[in-house]
Amino acid sequence: MNELSAGHTRLDSYVDRYAARTQGMTASEIRALFAVASRPEVVSLAGGMPNISGLPLDVVGEAIGDLIRDHGPVALQYGSGQGDPRLREQITDVMRLEGIEAHPDDVVVTVGSQQAVDLVTRIFCDPGDVVICEAPSYVGALGVFKSFQCDVVHAEMDADGLVPEALRQAIVATKAAGKTIKFLYTIPNFHNPAGVTLSLPRRREILDICREHDILVLEDNPYGLLGFDAEPMRALRADEAEGVIYLGSFSKTFSPGMRVGWALAPHAVREKLVLAQESATLCPPAFSQMAVSTYLTSHDWQGQIKQMIEMYRDRRDAMMEALEDFLPASCTWNTPSGGFFVWVGLPPGIDAKAMLPRAVTARVAYVPGTAFFADGFGAGSMRLSFCYPTPERIREGVRRLAGVLEAEMEL
């Protein structure tokens, strides 16, 4: 028995053989929930699945048919490790909407932005290196950091996003403890799970702090084009080319099933990312990339995004109204100006994780706040998503949740 087996039950007879890094790989709280939450009688405010019901499937189907007929031998073949050149060119047009001027040579296509988080961590992080993350942070990124045995240090957010002073303190304290910080992982727009957006003045401040301390920024921006009230915010990468690696995705603006995302990186980093991509997958799927590329040329994708925004805005409004109407007065929440999520603070003494089975019995599901912290914090909060259910179901889900909370407060 090696030290790995110490914390495990012996149900897995391979336990002595796994690499030490697998210790950090645990099923996310969200995954365990999916089975229950997908039962039709449960209103799931848990998962963050994009709502693709508005996609014109006939248009997509026709474009994909044309793609196979006209370019099948390329689309069904291996491609380049860096990704399809035409798509990389189109990606630079997408990023221009957020003020980014980039060369297609500096774009690496990935299997969703999830793989981009993995590749960036793979090329930068040794075990014990520190990644600074917002508190709370995206569960899928925390999973990657754990799987590479990184230490996550959280820095506080408020209604305007990451608090610059909290970032500065986290950097100073981590350095004083003799640890190496590899990068700041941040989701500036319509944060998953917190729902907040980094204000414009803070964007400059965060960049200045990172430059002053020589810390790379990993800017993860899958929701940036899904703002409800205004034009897209200026990306961090728009004002800082050398110190920022920017991640984008077509999962929320087109289709998560395509699994196409990207990283825009400084030149040298881009070369390392391509090597890492080649060893991970040889190349991202040519078919998916060409399907996305064809969709972008054959369809009014910006018009489509406008429709998505309207749908998500209606759902956000339904969520806000229901929270106001039903939740106990001692709960707190923010009003997201885009994206999929709202973060709810619970009355003192209530543990969202402990309450979850009772919520599921009452046919409503959410994700407990602890899923979004590397250090066990977050028990007094939960993430609610408004992207998938209809406005009526959202209202019903929040009504059920309020009933569960009230019963909990009487316990």
Chain residues binding ligand PMP by CB under 6 A are: 48, 112-114, 138, 140, 187, 192, 220, 222, 249, 251, 256, 261
Question: Which of residues 185 and 333 has its CB atom nearest to ligand PMP in the complex?
Answer: 185
User: Number of helices and strands (H, E) in the chain?
Assistant: 13, 14
d(CA 252, CA 62): 21
Smallest separation (angstroms) from ligand PMP to the CB of 141: 6
One-letter amino acid at 306 equals K
Query: What gap in Å lies between CA 147 and CA 22, rounded to an integer?
Result: 6
State the nearest-atom distance from the C-beta of 253 to ligand PMP, in Å.
Answer: 10
- Report the residue number, 251 or 370, with the smaller CB distance to ligand PMP: 251
CB of residue 395 to ligand PMP, shortest distance in Å? 24
Backbone angles phi, psi at 166, to 5 degrees: -65, -40
> Among residues 124 and 254, whose Cβ is nearest to ligand PMP?
254
The Cα 398–Cα 320 span in angstroms is: 10
Q: Compare residues 261 and 336 and give the one whose CB is closer to ligand PMP.
A: 261
Q: Are 261 and 113 in contact (CB under 8 A)?
A: yes
Question: What letter would DSSP give residue 42?
Answer: S
Nearer Cβ to ligand PMP (249/355): 249
| Residue whose C-beta lies closest to ligand PMP | 112
Smallest separation, CB 281 to ligand PMP (Å): 13
Query: What minimum distance in Å lies between the beta carbon of 362 and ligand PMP?
Result: 26
Neighbour count for residue 200 (Cβ, 10 Å): 10
CA atoms within 13 A on the CB side of 258: 27
Q: Write the DSSP assignment of 282-350 as a string of letters.
A: SS--HHHHHHHHHHHHHS-HHHHHHHHHHHHHHHHHHHHHHHHHHS-TT-EE---SBSSEEEEEPPTT-
For residues 191 and 400, which CB has a smaller minimum distance to ligand PMP in the complex? 191
Peptide bond connecting 193 to the previous residue in cis, omega within 30 degrees of 0? yes
Beta bridge partner(s), residue 146 = none
**Nearer Cβ to ligand PMP, position 285 or 402?**
285
Please identify, using beta-carbon distances, which residue of 151 and 220 lies nearer to ligand PMP.
220
CB of 256 to ligand PMP, least distance (A): 5
Q: What is the nearest approach in angstroms of ligand PMP to the Cβ of residue 288? A: 12
Helix (H) or strand (E) holding 263: strand 260-264
Residue partners of 246: CB distance under 8 A and separation at least 6: 95, 100, 219, 221, 235, 236, 237, 263, 264, 265
| Min dist. Cβ of residue 267 to ligand PMP (A) | 23
The least CB distance from residue 349 to ligand PMP, in Å, is 30
The CA distance from 77 to 81, in Å, is: 12
**Which of 138, 366 has the CB closer to ligand PMP?**
138
- Please give the biggest Cα pair distance in the chain: 66
Q: Exposure string (b/e) for 54-68, b if CB count within 10 Å is 16 or more?
A: ebeeeebeebbeebe
Nearest approach in angstroms of CB 258 to ligand PMP is 9
Q: Which is nearer to ligand PMP, 83 or 222 (CB)?
A: 222
Residue 127: partners with Cβ closer than 8 Å, 6 or more residues away: 20, 21, 148, 149, 150
Q: Which is nearer to ligand PMP, 136 or 362 (CB)?
A: 136
Cis ω for the linkage preceding 266 (within 30 of 0): no
| Minimum separation from the CB atom of position 26 to ligand PMP (A) | 18
Strand partners, 85: none
